[in-house]
Structure 1
């Protein structure tokens, strides 16, 4: 399986990719064995994910360089693995994203719940809306169908518990972003990623216990929705 992590610009995508890989690696089957074999591909010319993985981060899974507009021809993920691709920004390198979308089994759009970021997704200053990029990939795929695409909100204000009610409420920005994306036809994952230092400052550092964070929740939601295979 191949998951394409995409974003129009810097929106926490690489950080999310690193934590996703670790949450997949830590996931266990009922008998205690590893449930998945994750593998990363750095398809961004910045090489940030690869540098993190092969340097101080010491990722326990392979991460390969793959920033090429011929990804669909040159990269051959092995069977039985879950490959996660950190795509280059769609605004700057749409050719790379177009190539990855030709072979992706799942697309996850990473963005913050801000007006500026959502506008870059639905009405970008250059290029086409990201939903259109996903849709146009259908004509170049073997089954002539676009891959399923979901949005993941990250860097969200942590939900707060209302005094006396014991009920957690999301920040207005999170609620508004979800409503806006859904009105534009996007399916939005229930899981959100908080804006906390553990995530924001993690690039260049080892990751531990990812499965107990929102990224563990993300993997479980993808499983429950039948999106992992």
Structure 2
């Protein structure tokens, strides 16, 4: 797992990661600034373009499988569904790249925000990530534990 925050401004670093990555999970808060950073950054290179061009660097000649994971989702807010729809459908007019959005969403919780540097040993910290592991396993990206 690699956290490449503000990757749109550092495409050379991201190229190096994408050359060897098996799976890309882009985290996105359901807010307009994060959405624009992903789709049409004010400065830098749109991540869809960076990921697409990574195919030339890879042994397979294909870009890595990529998903968007919505995080910091406010309970009961309409914004997660709104941004998931925009991403899946290529924006309001369908002209932007279309993204695969994971159904798992990481909620905005103080217990998660406070977990930096500490293990996720409490249920309220761990539960959303357990759901993410389950979804990635069902999609064939993680092995099934017996």
TM superposition score normalised by structure 2: 0.85
In the other structure, the counterpart of 1:107 is: 24
Select the structure that is richer in strand: 1
Q: Distance in 2 between matches of 1:175 and 1:149?
A: 19
In the other structure, the counterpart of 1:215 is: 129
Map 1:111-130; keep pairs closer than 5 Å.
111-130=28-47
Aligned 8 A contact 2:88 2:100 in 1: yes
Q: Distance in 2 between matches of 1:122 and 1:178?
A: 13
Question: How many residues get paired?
Answer: 135
In the other structure, the counterpart of 1:25 is: none
What are structure 2's unaligned runs of at least 5 residues? 91-97
In the other structure, the counterpart of 2:102 is: 189
In the other structure, the counterpart of 1:200 is: 113
The Cα shift of 1:97 comes to 1.0
Within the alignment, does 1:147 sit opposite 2:61 as a pair?
no
Q: Which has the larger radius of gyration?
A: 1
TM superposition score normalised by structure 1: 0.55
Select the structure that is richer in helix: 2
Aligned 8 A contact 2:9 2:45 in 1: no
- Aligned partner of residue 44 in structure 2, secondary structure: coil
In the other structure, the counterpart of 1:176 is: 82
Per chain length, whose mean CA-contact separation is higher, i.e. which structure has more relative contact order (CA < 8 Å, sep 6+)?
1
Map 1:62-81; keep pairs closer than 5 Å.
none
Q: Distance in 2 between matches of 1:148 and 1:140?
A: 15
Runs of 4+ more than 4 Å apart: 209-212
What are structure 1's unaligned runs of at least 5 residues? 1-83, 160-170
